[in-house]
C-alpha cells in the first residue's frame, strides 16, 4: 500500500533533486567555461609583449649589429698618435677629424706626354721616394671642423651643411689651422717627435691621391670614371657637396677629385725629373700649389696630375684644404 503523500514527496524530492543537480551542474559548467575564457584572455595578453620583444630583438640584430661593426672599424681616439695606425683628431665639442696613415713608398709624380688633358707644367715625370710615413685627412676639412678650431665659418656654401667642405679659405688661413692644432697637441705631448699638423707637400698630396695608380684619375682613365669619385662641373649642380658621398680611393681617402681644390704646402715650380726623395718643391716663389679640381671646373682639371697655383692670400668658393700630420720640412 502506497502512501500518496510520501510518493508525491518522493517524486517531488527526486524532481527537486534532479532540478538542483541540473542547476548546480549548469553553474559548474558555466564556471569552467569562465575559467577557460580567462585563461585564453591571459594568454592573449602575453602575445602582445612577446611580439614587441621579438620585434625589438630583430631590430637590434638587423640595425644594431652592423652599426656596432661600423663603430668598431672606425679609428680609435688615443692619447698619442701611433705611426702605422689610422687616428682621429679630437677638435672639441664632440667633433673629430679622422686621419689615414700612409706608409712610405715610391711613385711617379706628374703625367706622361700622351695623357689626355695634360698641361706642360705636369712634367717632366719624376720618381719620388716618400721616405717617412704620414697621416692625411680622410676627407677635406669640413665647415664643422673648421668652426670648432677657428670659431668662424668663411664658407660661401654654408647652406650645404656642416659636413660640406669649408671653402673660401686662403693658404695662410689653412696653415694657421694646422699651427693651432700643432700647438695644442704638442703642449699635451701627444704628437710623434718631429711631426706637425700642416698642409701636405705637393708630392705627398699626389702620392695620397693616386694610391698606387698611374691613370688620369684614381678610378681609371675614362672621364666617366671621375663620376664615381668626385663632384665636378658636369654633376655638381653648381655647388659643393657633403664630404664622403663618392667612392674613396684604394687607401680610403674621399673627395681627392673635385668638390673643392685643396691647398698644398709647396710653391709652384718645375719638377726636377729623375729620382728624388721627399720632394717638397722650390724653396720660394709667388704661388702656392692647389690640387684636385673642384665643383666648378671640367673633369680634365680634376686629374691626379693637374696642378694650379694661387697667391697665398687668395680665397675663392671652390678652394679648401686637407689636413696632414707630417714630418716637418
For 191-204, the pLDDT digits (tens) are 999 999 999 999 99
pLDDT, average across residues 2-28: 41
pLDDT for the residue numbered 64: 52
What pLDDT digit, counting tens, does each position of 128-137 carry? 999 999 999 9
Omega of the bond leading into 238 within 30 degrees of 0 (cis)? no
pLDDT, average across residues 274-289: 97
The DSSP letter of residue 63 is I
pLDDT, average across residues 4-17: 40
Specify the pairing of strand 105-109 against strand 126-130. antiparallel
What pLDDT digit, counting tens, does each position of 161-214 carry? 999 999 999 999 999 999 999 999 999 888 999 999 999 999 999 999 999 999
* Range of lowest pLDDT (10-24, 81-95, 184-198): 10-24
48 C-beta neighbours (distance < 10 Å), count: 9
pLDDT for the residue numbered 37: 55
In angstroms, the CA 230 to CA 256 distance is 7
Chain centroid, CA 95 distance in Å: 13
All residues at 6 or more sequence positions from 276 whose CB lies less than 8 Å from its CB, including other chains: 126, 127, 128, 129
What percentage of the chain carries pLDDT values higher than 90?
72
**The total number of residues written for the chain in this structure:** 329
Residue 307 has pLDDT above 50, yes or no: yes
- The vertex-288 CA angle with 292 and 244, nearest 5°, equals 25
Q: Give the C-alpha distances (Å, rounded to integers) separating 155 from 119, 143, 321.
A: 30, 7, 12
Residue 74 has pLDDT above 60, yes or no: no
In angstroms, the CA 295 to CA 260 distance is 6
Amino acid at each position: 500500500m502506497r502512501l500518496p503523500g510520501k510518493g508525491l514527496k518522493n517524486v517531488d524530492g527526486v524532481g527537486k533533486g534532479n532540478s538542483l543537480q541540473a542547476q548546480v551542474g549548469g553553474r559548474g559548467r558555466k564556471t569552467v567555461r569562465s575559467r577557460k575564457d580567462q585563461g585564453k584572455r591571459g594568454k592573449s595578453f602575453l602575445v602582445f609583449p612577446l611580439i614587441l620583444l621579438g620585434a625589438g630583438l630583430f631590430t637590434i640584430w638587423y640595425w644594431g649589429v652592423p652599426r656596432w661593426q661600423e663603430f668598431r672599424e672606425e679609428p680609435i681616439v688615443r692619447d698619442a698618435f701611433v705611426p702605422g695606425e689610422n687616428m682621429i683628431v679630437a677638435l672639441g665639442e664632440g667633433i673629430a677629424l679622422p686621419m689615414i696613415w700612409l706608409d712610405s713608398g715610391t711613385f711617379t709624380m706628374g703625367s706622361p706626354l700622351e695623357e689626355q688633358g695634360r698641361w706642360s707644367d705636369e712634367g717632366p715625370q719624376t720618381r719620388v721616394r716618400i721616405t717617412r710615413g704620414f697621416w692625411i685627412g680622410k676627407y677635406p676639412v669640413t665647415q664643422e671642423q673648421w668652426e670648432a678650431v677657428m670659431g668662424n665659418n668663411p664658407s660661401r656654401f654654408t647652406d650645404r651643411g656642416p659636413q660640406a667642405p669649408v671653402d673660401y679659405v686662403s693658404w695662410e688661413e689653412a696653415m694657421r689651422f694646422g699651427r693651432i692644432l700643432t700647438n695644442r697637441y704638442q703642449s699635451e705631448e701627444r704628437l710623434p717627435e718631429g711631426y706637425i699638423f700642416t698642409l701636405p707637400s705637393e708630392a705627398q698630396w699626389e702620392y695620397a691621391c693616386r694610391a698606387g695608380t698611374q691613370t688620369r684619375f684614381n678610378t681609371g682613365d675614362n672621364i666617366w670614371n671621375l663620376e664615381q669619385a668626385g663632384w665636378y662641373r658636369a654633376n655638381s649642380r653648381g655647388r659643393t657637396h657633403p664630404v664622403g658621398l663618392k667612392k674613396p680611393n684604394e687607401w680610403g681617402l674621399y673627395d681627392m677629385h673635385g668638390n673643392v681644390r685643396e691647398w698644398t704646402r709647396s710653391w709652384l715650380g718645375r719638377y726636377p725629373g729623375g729620382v728624388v726623395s721627399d720632394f717638397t718643391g722650390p724653396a720660394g716663389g709667388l704661388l702656392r700649389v692647389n690640387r684636385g679640381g673642384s665643383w666648378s671646373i671640367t673633369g680634365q682639371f680634376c686629374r691626379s696630375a693637374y696642378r694650379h697655383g694661387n697667391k697665398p692670400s687668395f680665397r675663392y668658393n671652390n678652394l679648401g684644404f686637407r689636413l696632414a700630420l707630417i714630418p716637418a720640412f
